Amino acid sequence: MKRERVGVVGAGLMGAGMAGCLLRAGHPVVVVAHRNRDPVDRLLKAGAAESPDPGAVLGACDVLLTCVPNADVVGNLADDLAPRFAEGQLWIDVTTSRPEVSRDVAARLAERGAVFADAPVTGGPPQAEEGTLASLVGCDSGEFGRVESLVGAYSKVVRHFGGVGSGHAAKLLNNLVTQGTMLLLADAYQCAAELGVDGRALYDVMMAGAARSGTLEKAVGPSLDGKYDGMRFTVANAVKDLSYAHDLISACGSEGTETAAALAERGRREVERGRGNLFVSELLRPPESGDSDGR
């Protein structure tokens, strides 16, 4: 069976792992040059091709996969690329973006006979490399089979949440919980240190009770041994996601609007302190261990 040609825009920590999985699944892959050459060079050695810009990538593929920083970048790409899509081409966006941006892009592609699907993921770079991410898909039900056959190359779980935009809505709600939990854990463990509370004992109790979570295990567990990179996701990205989630909940008129706003503001204060490039798990680092923006 002929495998669809996939063009990848955003072959960074996450996108490169996904592209590698697609290559191993037999898909021809072409990537656009990235500021970090290491993952691109690894992909080229594995059999990928490289194109100089997103337009050239689109012209060489059946499916465009984008993994870019935010919704604004997706919108800018759409301004450039939407008029160039051909009938039958598919755009899968794995960016944590805004649902309304996805719906707008989908409408523009539909005028060309092309298809858009939002399919953000949960998991980090190791899971992207291993092909064990979870994909949250928003697309027309008739297109889900095609999308699933592609995102399944790098995902252990693929779920269809509804029409275009629903995948991004689900991802924002997921990140509201995970990143909100991370900020709460950082504050709780900083306070524990100030009070002289044994952090390891607190962790053991939390892991045995209702406070247990994947965020607790991934971030706090390693930090007790002086390893603060358990959650390889920057504070700035967390703030972006929390801000998007706040807007989403606010539009629903939810009682959770104030909570989401408070979490986003809490994260913004860390960015204002110059800590935006830190991994979120580095917020667990005791003040005496240093408070720089480096890793």
- CATH for the stretch 169-289: 1.10.1040.10
Residue 65: which residues within 8 A CB-CB, separation 6 or more?
A: 6, 7, 8, 9, 15, 18, 19, 22, 92, 93, 94, 150
Q: Is 7 helix (H, G, I), strand (E, B) or coil?
A: strand
Q: What is the pLDDT of residue 33?
A: 78
Secondary structure tally for the chain: helices H, strands E: 13, 9
Domain chopping of the chain, boundaries: 6-163, 169-289
Residue 71: which residues within 8 A CB-CB, separation 6 or more?
A: 95, 97, 98, 101, 244
Terminal-residue alpha carbon distance, the chain: 46
Q: What is the pLDDT of residue 294?
A: 41
DSSP secondary structure code for residue 27 in this structure? -
Q: What is the pLDDT of residue 281?
A: 97
In this prediction the pTM is 0.91
Q: What is the pLDDT of residue 169?
A: 97
Q: Which residues pair with 279 in a beta bridge?
A: 234
Q: On the CB side of 32, how many CA atoms lie within 13 Å of its CA?
A: 20
Q: Residue 97 and residue 219: Cα distance in Å, rounded?
A: 24
Residue 250: which residues within 8 A CB-CB, separation 6 or more?
A: 257, 260, 261
Question: Tens-of-pLDDT digits for all 295 residues of the chain?
Answer: 679 999 999 999 899 999 999 999 999 999 997 677 899 999 999 999 999 999 999 999 999 999 999 999 999 999 999 999 999 999 999 999 999 999 999 999 999 999 999 999 999 899 999 999 999 999 999 999 999 999 999 999 999 999 999 999 999 999 999 999 999 999 999 999 999 999 999 999 999 999 999 999 999 999 999 999 999 899 999 999 999 999 999 998 888 899 999 999 999 999 999 999 999 999 999 876 444 444 3
**Residue 23: other Cβ atoms inside 10 A:** 19
Beta-strand relationship, 63-66 and 155-162? unpaired
Q: What is the pLDDT of residue 13?
A: 85
Q: What is the pLDDT of residue 96?
A: 96
Report CA-CA distances (Å) from 192 to 8, 207, 213: 44, 16, 19
Beta-strand relationship, 133-138 and 121-122? antiparallel
Q: Tell me if domain 6-163 and domain 169-289 are identical in fold.
A: no
The encoded tokens of residue 120 equal 């953000």
Nearest CA-CA partner of 24 in 41, 1, 48: 48
Q: Residue 256 and residue 238: Cα distance in Å, rounded?
A: 18
The encoded tokens of residue 225 equal 């041994």
Report CA-CA distances (Å) from 243 to 94, 110, 153, 239: 18, 29, 30, 6
CATH superfamily of 6-163: NAD(P)-binding Rossmann-like Domain (3.40.50.720)
Q: What is the pLDDT of residue 177?
A: 96
Q: Residues 34, 145: contact at Cβ < 8 Å?
A: no
Characterize 210-224 residue by residue with b for buried, 16 or more Cβ atoms within 10 angstroms of its Cβ, and e for exposed. eeebebbebbbebbe
**Residue corresponding to tokens 């697609």:** 22
**Residue 274: other Cβ atoms inside 10 A:** 11
